[in-house]
């Protein structure tokens, strides 16, 4: 599942809640308490009589005692706000049952039974978008993590694997297309109704069940697997969206071919369906043979989608397809093992995207996400290992730690083993555990044995939270360079003391005179401290370390600006070169915010940064995609992470001042680069994408140094744009300027695209993320806009997540930004708890913010915590954030 991500009441309607009650902590679930489920359910048949307001579900379960489980006189079937209509055991009414909360507990004396369970649900009332729900006249499901229990009573846990046979029936005019997991085995009509039967031959957990019924059209194609089997492919969308699905289909075919070539994985059904849904809590879901996607990750054409959208679609389609093996054929034993499927699959989609485009740029983008989201998570109150020890609400553990850090941990194994040996390890994993519900330990053992590695200490990455801080010092004596490394893993909640982690570091030592090195080396550092010696250096070399970002650590080194300028201009590792540019600017900005720079030193540092950036502009060996990365400034969030206590106001002011200074110093070079890039005609190749990237970046620099000219240039770019990337980039800059051009282009953009929900989302986001001084008032006004709704997660995220990620606005000194987000959480929680809980972490950073703002953030969290009837999702996030 791709994260973009329980109910307070059964249907999510606050008006149906009982009298207000004080929130109480949901029970803690601990990994060490895992036991196998006492019953096996090898087969399940489900009959659906479909309706938007009433769907009848008849589930027939084949139930057998599990010899691996503890004997139990009863079977517990999970439910969540559903009503039992009838229950039969072996063909007769079953009275030997009881309700335990939402769960149905049935006494079973024998070893083998057939249970028939009838439930009725109202999909139209399901605003939580979990289980079976209605979306714009169609029916669809989302069952990960615990949504299946909102459809029927069932042991809703990932280690219960069943084969599914499904019959769907409903009005043909209302639901002309009926889709489910697996292969379609039969269809028919009965008057105004019709039906379809589906069978998935591969055992799967309930979280992978999927159903879609609605009025849809398909882009159809086929793919022939490496064994010669032809697979039918369909991308289903609403009528009118079909012409924006070509890129999605091509991405799917590329994913299938890549997975065969790189990991040896072949698709295993006769059919692969993708359905685009506009109301969805996350990015997409890997249900077996029937992937359900947020429309954001399917629909694209140059007029409505940016280059980033195109890349996102390709990456997410790859991610969900790759889950067919790393998640479906081998699934999780329990939810503590979530990174088993998600971390591995994120790595696979990252490698795929790198092979499809620019590998260096993709690596930088992945690291930027890790540092911008996961590193703050690791240093805050919500820190947890990639394999947690406990949870209260599993939806809260679909985190950057589980996904992105999980991918980095597996990437480190690949780095230490080498690509060929790592492939042997993954082959062993797929062979050994196919058809099983496995654990993270199963994966590590397979890599260990297949690749011939000793990963005993490496397992600490799965059990310890926190980002290791690696101290680096390079000394030179005679002809010997000595590299001294130290490491420290900071305390995190529940883990005050940490053991050293094995850290693979790629490094190179450059000769200062020639600008060359003797080759890249890999050292694996697994102690509190260590020293490595390198002979044959008459002069002190320049160190390039953690090349390719070989380990997800924070490097702490006292390096002179001269060396950073050298690396920014001459390092042959693209990531290390990017890192040198980032370190140049970060070091200056942290010192400036801290008040540690005198006027002379400030001027010298700015001159060095400008010199390094000029070398980037004038380097003809660079393509513009990489040039754009090297010219980008570190984000305000990243800068705040470099400080024990951050002052968002001062960080913003100093960052904008540096941007203005660079815009003024390098104005001739920037103008020349813009003029060159503007001449590149539109296409989706790397050269044209790079040209569009640097154009918008240069207009943003101009906005800081010369707002009037920037407004003219941005308006010019907007008016001439023949694609969404150029148009959105220009409007992004204009949205932050107080100019006549801003108002006119914002109105034009809305009127041009008002019937396209995804582009209207962009319109909301551009304004909420802008640098305009009145952005808080703008967001309040947009909240009242007729197109805003709390019922659509995309629209909520478009406005409020963009706002929460806008440091200048969210951290307004009077606390209004915090109050607005707290108000949103309280209003949204009864409607869609998963989405509401996602807005808590920005407030949870209060310990790392200066005292005045910190107190206001804490007050906002306390106000949320005091509200009655909070969902489990939000309650856990808030209480952990408060500490």
> What is 610-629 written as a DSSP string?
HHHHHHHHT-TTS-HHHHHH
E-state strands within 251-360: 271-277, 284-285, 290-294, 331-332
Q: What percent of the chain is modeled with pLDDT above 70?
A: 98
Q: What percent of the chain is modeled with pLDDT above 90?
A: 97
Residue-wise pLDDT for 215-238, tens only, equals 999 999 999 999 999 999 999 999
Mapped onto helix, strand or coil, the DSSP state of residue 448 is helix
pLDDT for residue 25: 72
Mapped onto helix, strand or coil, the DSSP state of residue 574 is helix
Look at the block and give the residue holding tokens 């006249």: 137
Residue-wise pLDDT for 518-555, tens only, equals 999 999 999 999 999 999 999 999 999 999 999 999 99
Spatial neighbors of 633 by CB under 8 A, at least 6 apart, are 585, 655, 658, 659
pLDDT for residue 4: 65
Q: Residue 557's CB: how many other CB atoms inside 10 A?
A: 14
> How many Å apart are CA 665 and CA 659, to the nearest integer?
10
Contact indicator for 76, 100 with CB cutoff of 8 Å: yes
pLDDT for residue 14: 30
> How many Å apart are CA 159 and CA 152, to the nearest integer?
18
**Whether the predicted pLDDT of 8 surpasses 50:** no
**Whether the predicted pLDDT of 22 surpasses 70:** no
pLDDT level of residue 575 (50, 70, 90 thresholds): very high
Q: String of b and e for 527-550 (b: at least 16 CB within 10 Å)?
A: eeebeeebeebeeebbbbbbbbbb
Greater confidence (267 vs 19) lies with 267
E-state strands within 701-842: none
**Whether the predicted pLDDT of 472 surpasses 70:** yes
Contact indicator for 209, 45 with CB cutoff of 8 Å: no
> How many Å apart are CA 705 and CA 685, to the nearest integer?
31
> How many Å apart are CA 613 and CA 153, to the nearest integer?
61
Q: Which of 144, 197, 286, 320 is catalytic?
A: 320
Residue-wise pLDDT for 154-200, tens only, equals 999 999 999 999 999 999 999 999 999 999 999 999 999 999 999 99
Q: DSSP assignment, residue 389? A: S
pLDDT for residue 3: 82
**Whether the predicted pLDDT of 16 surpasses 90:** no
Closest CA to 439 of 348, 331, 343, 345: 331
Contact indicator for 843, 822 with CB cutoff of 8 Å: yes
Long-range contacts, 785-793 (Cβ 8 Å, 24+): 787/754, 787/760, 788/764, 790/827, 790/828, 790/831, 790/832, 791/127, 791/279, 791/831, 791/832, 792/278, 792/279, 792/757, 793/4, 793/129, 793/279, 793/280, 793/281, 793/832, 793/835
**Whether the predicted pLDDT of 469 surpasses 80:** yes
pLDDT level of residue 17 (50, 70, 90 thresholds): very low
Mapped onto helix, strand or coil, the DSSP state of residue 154 is strand
pLDDT level of residue 26 (50, 70, 90 thresholds): confident
Contact indicator for 633, 659 with CB cutoff of 8 Å: yes
Residue 145, preceding bond cis, omega within 30 degrees?
yes
Query: 22: burial class by Cβ within 10 Å (0-12, 13-18, 19+)?
Result: exposed
Contact indicator for 13, 127 with CB cutoff of 8 Å: yes
**Whether the predicted pLDDT of 338 surpasses 80:** yes
Furthest CA-CA distance within the chain = 92
Domains of the chain: 42-260+270-300 (2.60.40.1730), 331-463 (1.10.390.10), 469-551 (2.60.40.1840)
What is each CA distance from 9 to 80, 458, 784, 828, 832, in whole angstroms? Answer: 9, 43, 26, 13, 10
Spatial neighbors of 497 by CB under 8 A, at least 6 apart, are 491
> How many Å apart are CA 883 and CA 880, to the nearest integer?
5
Output the average pLDDT for the chain: 96
> How many Å apart are CA 163 and CA 183, to the nearest integer?
12
**Whether the predicted pLDDT of 333 surpasses 50:** yes
Write out the H or E segment, with its range, that includes residue 8.
Answer: none
Instruction: Give the count of alpha carbons within 13 A of 464, CB side only.
Output: 19
320 a catalytic residue: yes
Residue-wise pLDDT for 785-799, tens only, equals 999 999 999 999 999
**Whether the predicted pLDDT of 251 surpasses 50:** yes
Q: How far apart are the first and last CA of the chain?
A: 29
Contact indicator for 321, 235 with CB cutoff of 8 Å: no
Residue-wise pLDDT for 442-468, tens only, equals 999 999 999 999 999 999 999 999 999
> How many Å apart are CA 219 and CA 273, to the nearest integer?
10
Give the pLDDT mean for 335-364: 98
Residue-wise pLDDT for 690-739, tens only, equals 999 999 999 999 999 999 999 999 999 999 999 999 999 999 999 999 99
Q: DSSP assignment, residue 467? A: -
What is each CA distance from 790 to 237, 768, 783, in whole angstroms? Answer: 23, 16, 9
- DSSP letters for 665-725: HTHHHHHHHHHHHHTSPP-SSHHHHHHHHHHHHHHHHHHHH-HHHHHHHHHHHHHH-SSHH
Give the pLDDT mean for 857-874: 97
Greater confidence (20 vs 399) lies with 399
> How many Å apart are CA 149 and CA 131, to the nearest integer?
7
Sign of the Cα torsion 521, 527, 531, 535 reads negative
Contact indicator for 43, 162 with CB cutoff of 8 Å: yes
> How many Å apart are CA 861 and CA 819, to the nearest integer?
9
Q: DSSP assignment, residue 776? A: H
Sign of the Cα torsion 279, 282, 288, 290 reads positive
Give the pLDDT mean for 583-592: 98
> How many Å apart are CA 101 and CA 76, to the nearest integer?
11
Kindly state the tokens that stand for 360: 């260096």
Give the pLDDT mean for 339-361: 98
Residue-wise pLDDT for 636-682, tens only, equals 999 999 999 999 999 999 999 999 999 999 999 999 999 999 999 99
**Whether the predicted pLDDT of 324 surpasses 60:** yes
Contact indicator for 843, 821 with CB cutoff of 8 Å: yes
Closest CA to 451 of 509, 397, 412: 412
């Amino acid at each position: 599942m791709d994260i973009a991500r329980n109910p307070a009441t059964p249907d999510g309607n606050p008006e149906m809640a009982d009298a207000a009650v004080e929130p109480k902590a949901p029970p803690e679930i601990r990994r060490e308490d895992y036991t196998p489920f006492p019953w096996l359910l090898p087969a399940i048949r489900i009959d659906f009589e479909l309706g938007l307001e009433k769907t009848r579900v008849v589930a027939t379960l084949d139930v057998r005692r599990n010899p691996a489980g503890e004997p139990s006189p009863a079977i517990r079937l999970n439910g969540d706000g559903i009503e039992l209509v009838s229950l039969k055991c072996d063909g007769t009414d079953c009275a030997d049952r009881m309700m335990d909360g939402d769960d149905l507990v049935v006494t079973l004396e024998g070893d083998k039974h057939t249970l028939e369970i009838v439930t009725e649900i109202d999909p139209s009332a399901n605003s939580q978008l979990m289980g079976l729900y209605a979306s714009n006249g169609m029916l669809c499901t989302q069952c990960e993590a615990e949504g299946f229990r909102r459809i029927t009573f069932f042991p809703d846990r990932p280690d219960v694997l069943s084969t599914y046979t499904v019959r769907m029936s409903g009005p043909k005019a209302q639901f002309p297309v009926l889709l489910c997991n697996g292969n379609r085995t039969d269809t028919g009509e009965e008057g105004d109704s019709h039906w379809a039967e589906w069978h998935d031959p591969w055992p799967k957990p309930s979280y992978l069940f999927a159903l879609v019924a609605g009025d849809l059209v398909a882009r159809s194609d086929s793919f022939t697997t490496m064994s010669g089997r032809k697979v039918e492919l369909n991308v289903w969308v609403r009528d009118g969206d079909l012409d924006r699905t070509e890129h999605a289909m091509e991405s799917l075919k590329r994913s299938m071919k890549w997975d065969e070539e790189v990991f040896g994985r072949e698709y295993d059904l006769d059919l692969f369906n993708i359905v685009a849904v506009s109301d969805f809590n996350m990015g997409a879901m890997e249900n077996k043979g029937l992937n359900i996607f947020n429309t954001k990750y399917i629909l694209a054409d140059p007029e409505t989608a940016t280059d980033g959208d195109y890349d996102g679609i390709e990456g997410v389609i790859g991610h969900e397809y790759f889950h067919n093996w790393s998640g479906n054929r081998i699934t999780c034993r329990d939810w503590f093992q979530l990174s088993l499927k998600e971390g591995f699959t994120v790595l696979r989609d990252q490698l795929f995207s790198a092979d499809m485009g620019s590998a260096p740029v993709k690596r930088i983008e992945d690291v930027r996400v890790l540092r911008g989201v996961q590193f703050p998570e690791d240093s805050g109150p919500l820190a947890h290992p990639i394999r947690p020890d406990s949870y209260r609400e599993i939806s809260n553990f679909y985190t950057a730690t589980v996904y992105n850090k999980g991918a980095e941990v597996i990437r480190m194994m690949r780095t230490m083993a080498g690509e060929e040996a790592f492939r042997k390890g993954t082959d062993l994993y797929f062979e050994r555990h196919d058809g099983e519900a496995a654990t993270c330990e199963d994966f590590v053992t397979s890599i260990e044995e297949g690749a011939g590695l000793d990963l005993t200490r490496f397992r600490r990455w799965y059990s310890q939270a926190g980002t290791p801080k690696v101290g680096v010092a390079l000394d030179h004596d005679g002809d010997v360079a000595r590299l001294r490394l130290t490491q420290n893993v900071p305390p995190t909640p529940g883990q005050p003391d940490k053991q050293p982690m094995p850290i693979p570091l790629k490094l190179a030592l450059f000769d200062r005179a020639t600008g060359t090195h003797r080759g890249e080396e890999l050292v694996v550092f697994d102690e509190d401290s260590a020293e490595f010696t390198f002979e044959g250096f008459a002069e002190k070399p320049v160190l390039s370390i953690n090349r390719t970002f070989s380990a997800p650590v924070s490097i702490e080194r006292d390096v002179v600006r001269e060396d950073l300028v050298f690396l920014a201009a001459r390092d042959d590792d693209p990531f290390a070169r990017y890192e040198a540019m980032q370190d140049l600017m970060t070091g200056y900005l942290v010192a400036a915010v801290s008040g540690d720079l005198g006027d002379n030193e400030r001027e010298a540092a700015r001159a060095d940064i400008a010199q390094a950036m000029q070398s980037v502009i004038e380097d003809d060996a660079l393509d513009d995609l990489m040039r754009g990365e090297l010219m980008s400034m570190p984000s305000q969030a990243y800068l705040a992470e470099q400080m024990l206590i951050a002052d968002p106001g001062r960080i913003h002011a100093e960052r904008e001042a540096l941007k203005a200074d660079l815009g003024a110093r390098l104005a001739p070079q920037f103008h020349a680069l813009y003029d060159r890039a503007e001449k590149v005609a539109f296409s989706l190749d790397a050269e044209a994408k790079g040209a569009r990237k640097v154009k918008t970046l240069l207009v943003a620099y101009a906005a800081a140094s010369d707002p009037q000219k920037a407004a003219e240039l941005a308006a010019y770019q907007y008016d001439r744009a023949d694609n969404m990337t150029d148009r959105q980039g220009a409007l992004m800059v204009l949205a932050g300027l107080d100019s006549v051009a801003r108002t006119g282009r914002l109105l034009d953009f809305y009127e041009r695209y008002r019937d396209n929900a995804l582009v209207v989302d962009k319109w909301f986001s551009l304004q909420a993320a802008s640098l305009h001084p009145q952005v808080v008032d703008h967001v309040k006004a947009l909240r009242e806009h007729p197109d805003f709704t709390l019922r659509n997660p995309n629209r909520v995220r478009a406005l409020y997540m963009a706002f929460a990620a806008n440091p200048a606005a969210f951290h307004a000194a009077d606390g209004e930004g915090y109050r607005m987000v707290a108000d949103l959480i309280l209003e949204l929680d009864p409607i869609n708890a998963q989405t509401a809980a996602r807005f808590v972490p920005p407030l949870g950073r209060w310990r790392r913010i200066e005292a005045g703002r910190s107190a206001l953030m804490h007050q906002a969290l306390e106000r949320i915590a005091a509200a009655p009837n909070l969902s489990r999702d939000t309650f856990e996030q808030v209480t952990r954030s408060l500490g």
